[in-house]
Chain A
Amino acid sequence: MAFFQNQSEDLIQVIATIDAFAEYWELEEDITFDHDRISSVIRGMWADFPANGGLSAASVFKKAANFFCYFVGERPIITTFPEEIFGEIVKIHNHQNVMIGFQIVANMLDGATINRAGQEPIVLQTPLRMSKHSYCDLIDACHSITSQAHFMMVALLLEQITYRNNPDASDELIML
Chain B
Amino acid sequence: MALIRHDNGSLEFTRVVSSTANIDLSSHIEPNLQAANKAHMKNASGNFPEISVEDTYARTKISVDAMKKAFKK
Contacts and interface: CB of A to CB of B under 8 A. Distances in A.
B8 interface: no
Interface of B (DSSP majority class): mixed
Contacts, number: 166
A138 interface: no
Given A22-B16, A23-B15, A57-B44, A13 B53 contact: yes
Interface of A (DSSP majority class): helix
A22 B44 contact: no
Contacts of B53: 1, 12-13, 16
A168 B50 CA distance: 22
B48 A4 contact: yes
A98 to B, nearest CB: 14
Given A1-B30, A4-B41, A127 B20 contact: no
B33 A23 contact: no
B46 A60 contact: yes
B16 A18 contact: yes
B39 to A, nearest CB: 10
B44 A113 contact: no
A17 B51 contact: no
12 contacts: A13-B56, A16-B11, A16-B13, A23-B2, A25-B64, A30-B14, A35-B20, A35-B23, A60-B48, A107-B56, A108-B48, A135-B67
Interface of A: 1-6, 8-9, 11-13, 15-25, 27, 30-36, 55-60, 63, 78, 85-87, 103, 106-115, 121, 127, 129, 132, 135
Interface of B: 1-3, 11, 13-20, 23, 25, 28-31, 33, 37-38, 41, 43-53, 56-57, 59-68, 70-71, 73
